[in-house]
Structure 1
């Protein structure tokens, strides 16, 4: 998953970010109101982890309303990215306020990383209609273990090719444009150009031959992964 982590506590953010990245996720970190609003508006994420009490980039805290305002702004522009609020403020009233602002789930601090990841998986399953085990032909993607198999044999993929496969199978049959895929496979330090994306698609396409799954190019639209007759 590509996750936006909105958290101003440096130690907590590093621990959370490193844990999620170790589990195989891509994490962008925003530590102020302005950074959170910018990244959420210009990038596409599978889920957002949102603290509520955020500082401004110029200094000074903005209070509980900063996180809720950021969330409301995203929902107002039609952004339906699943949001899990992580907050030390855990009263019933504050939970209600977060959920009413558009959050999908609310978890009080302290929390276990494994629970955070499990809740994120549940939110993304609900949003995409995709289960933890996704199958196309003989190709199986295990979203929990972050492994893929063809006819029960492991298919080892480099990180970027695995991320590309993840996007194409969330869910299968969904057409993804080049610009959307490039954005999802890019990060703050490195943008993925069209030539690099086409190279990743070409390599992944070759590795999927005989799997019963194929990446189709739809001219002017993008790419789609769908079932194909396996090669005898």
Structure 2
């Protein structure tokens, strides 16, 4: 049998695999060589979102940046929220049920107004509310052993309401409950005839009683109605 030449053998063996950083250090330590031939790998990490300040001075981070409009004035907005302690203990959330719909400047939780006015539709922020800024109507919802600690509110701005769906939340006073909304809906069944044409539904323009009744039935279970019926006085529940 003919002996294989060294070149043939090397063609199968090839170059040895590169050493890992750990193996390289061990080899250098055994042979008392300086660790200069192999650079330690560098791992880059995405920087955490920077902290910003609302117009009212509250700290917040943009977790998801939306591209929609920014609310202003007394706009009616729809949000999802989760309120928790720094430890992660949850105090309240709208997730898994109706989102919250309210008119800016017409409720008792000014920190929400302050936060939402700095957001775009589609954005989610994490807001730090110092104990001194927790609304008085909410302070009783914070556990006694956690009093004095800040709370964290994660807020998603889902929509800025326009037209007919924005009328009722903008008219109701703070703290209005569902029973008030249902009674007001009954009264509003007569009002749309007097609304401006740009927010008056077509079926009201033409006086279709069947369509009007169907609209009433749908409104009683609608998302905006459920949101508007949620009182901000019980936000942390």
Tell me whether the two structures share a fold, i.e. TM-score over 0.5: no
Considering fraction of residues, name the structure with more helix. 1
**RCO greater where, 1 or 2, for CA within 8 Å and sep 6 or more?**
2
TM-score with structure 2 setting the length: 0.24
Q: State which structure, 1 or 2, has the greater radius of gyration over its C-alpha atoms.
A: 2
TM-score with structure 1 setting the length: 0.24
